[in-house]
Structure formats: C-alpha cells, structure tokens
Amino acid sequence: MSAPNKQFIHGILLDELQAWLVASGEPKFRAKQIWQWLYHQCVHSWDEMTNISKTLREKLAEAFVFQALEPVVDQDSSTGTRKLLSRLHDGQMIEEVLIPADDRRTVCVSSQVGCVFGCVFCASGQHGVTRNLQAGEIVSEVLLAQKEYGDRITNIVFMGIGEPFDNYEEVMRAIRILNDPDGFCLGARRITVSTCGVVPGIQRLLEEGIQVELSVSLHAPNDELRSELMPVNFSWPLNELIDVCKRYTQITKRIITFEYTMVRDVNDTEVCARELVALLRTFPCRVNLIPLSEIDEYDGKTSRPESVKMFIRYLQKAGINVTVRWSKGLDVNAACGQLRAQHTEA
C-alpha cells in the first residue's frame, strides 16, 4: 500500500465533502450519494459507485485515498473472538478484535499505533507510541470488522491499542462519522470510549455534548498502588480523576463504568475492596471487574475466584452495580491488554 499525501475519504465529514464538491464545481447533493456508497453499501472501490459520473469518480480518486487498511492476519479463538491484524499505508501494523456475543457484533478498535501510558499489565503499552491513527483509519477498522462479520456492527469499543484521549481530535472525528445518520449511523450509546484516566480528555468529552458511553480504567483504589500499576496516575491522581468523573456524571447524567483489572494479592485484597467502595459510593457508577489476562511482560497472576466473589459482595452491599468480564480470546492473545502487533515486534 502506498503512502498517501491525500486524505482518507473515510475520515472526511459530510459537510467537508459537500464543501469540496462545491469547490470542485459539483453539486452538493452528491455528498450524500457518496456517503450512501461508503457507509450503507460499504463498497470497496470508487468504480462501484455507479450513480456517480466517471469524471467525478476520477476527481475523487485524485483527491482522496479510498482504502486505509490491508488485512494480513486473521486469528480465530475457540471462544468465537477473532483478532485481525492489518497493515497501514506506512507499513505500521494495527489490530482490532471482533467479539460476537448473543445478538451483539462488537468490534474493539485501536486509536494509536502503540501507547505512551505504559500500564504494567498491558502488552500494548510496553513499547511506547509510534503514531496516532487518522479518523479514516479508525473508521476503516469498523468497516473491515463489518465485512468480516458479514453483518451489521452493533457496538464499537475504543479499548484496543492506544489511549483514545491521547488522539482526541481524530477519535472524535471518527465517532462523528460513525454516529452520523447519513454516515455509518450507529447510536452514540453503542459506542464506548475507554480511557486510562486522562482528566483533560474526560473534561473535553463532557463539554462535547455527544452521548457516547465512557469507561475509565481504575485498577486500584489508592494513589500509591495506582501509580505503581498505571504511570498515568502521576499526571492525574485519583482525587482529580474522581472529581472530573463526578462532574461528568452530574452534567451528562450518564453513568461511568470503572474497569478494575484484578491482580492476585496486588489489588484484590479485602482492604482494596473497602477502599474501592469508599472511593465510588458517593456517586452513581458501575464497576466492571476483569480478572487479569496474564502476559509474558508482567509477572502478576489473575485473581482467585474467591477474591472476585469477595469484591462483588463488598460492592453490591454498598449498592454499586458490578459486573465481571472474563476475557475472551486468550488463546490468540486477543484478550484485553494483550493486543500487540506481533509482526512488528521481532
């Protein structure tokens, strides 16, 4: 795939496409026709846009790049989860995970090549960040997943490689295209943005006025432990994080999900359970407990089932809504925190 100096067509907003058409001497209404082909018919080339003139298709091809991803590896897991590895135009690799469950067809997308935040139990964050994904590349991850499912995507989660708020502009642009009724048309509440606790990003999202779901990786109930597990805590400690989460909940009236990866004898003790309750009981929220997916780069072990049950008891007793997510796809390293572009890590 050649390196484009042009923009990806899947990263262009409808009004921008309309403006480009007008500037190119074409009628504005063509923009919605083009979007129909891109997001409803999900075509794979300009030539398939049969109600668009050849002249306009040539102009489009000159101005924009059509395809952003080239799938190179597809791994199935015994649980039904699939990991897709794709090459970007500059040779970088990116992963996404397809997670089917009941009537849901969820795709977990990446927002960056690598990640700068270095959470200790995350394979994606061990080698720093190479670059941000462009909106067109993120949207292309979703379209690729839909093609692979052979069916409509029902949920998108930004929980793959990268920190979405470290690439705020492009992530929000992708979300607008995916949410636009003339675009991919997926309800905002079916899109979840997950952050490791980038406080300015949460503040920006609450001012954005878009009703996406927000999930915050907490993983520890006190600063000392959280700083050990998640270096982001040195920049935005728990008091600042919880303050902005409370503000977010008050202003948006939306409930935040706190992700809590459980590491045996590290953050799954009874003292931690009590601290977690004290931290979260003052405002409405939900907690998702995730027994650790063990990785080579971190020697922590997954929690024992009795520790998970003890946490559930404490949280429920305090009236906090709690769920447990047993990671899927361990056999292909597709589980949360185990996404990694193995082909680039020789």
- Return the number of the residue (232 or 315) whose C-beta is nearest ligand SF4: 232
Question: Distance (Å, rounded) from C-alpha 215 to C-alpha 227?
Answer: 19
Give strand ranges (E) for the chain: 7-8, 64-65, 70-76, 82-87, 93-101, 104-108, 112-114, 129-132, 155-158, 191-195, 213-217, 256-262, 285-291, 321-324
Nearest residue (CB) to ligand SF4, 81 versus 293? 293
Nearer to ligand SF4, 59 or 83 (CB): 83
Cβ(287)–Cβ(316) below 8 Å: no
Q: From the CB of 124, what's the least distance to ligand SF4, in Å? A: 4
> Which residues form the catalytic set?
95, 336
Which one-letter DSSP state was computed for residue 56?
A: H
- In the complex, least distance from residue 152 CB atom to ligand SF4, rounded to whole angstroms: 27
Residues whose CB falls within 8 Å of the CB of residue 305, separated by 6 or more in sequence, listed in order:
none
- Binding region for ligand SF4 (CB under 6 A): 115, 117-119, 122, 124-125, 161-163, 196, 337
Q: Is 112 helix (H, G, I), strand (E, B) or coil?
A: strand
Query: Cβ 39 to ligand SF4, closest distance in Å?
Result: 27
Query: Toward ligand SF4, which CB reaches closer, 52 or 335?
Result: 335
Please state the closest distance from residue 138 (CB atom) to ligand SF4, in A: 15
Q: Using CB atoms within 10 A of its CB, is residue 310 exposed (0-12), middle (13-18) or buried (19+)?
A: middle
Q: Which residue is nearest to ligand SF4 (CB)?
A: 125
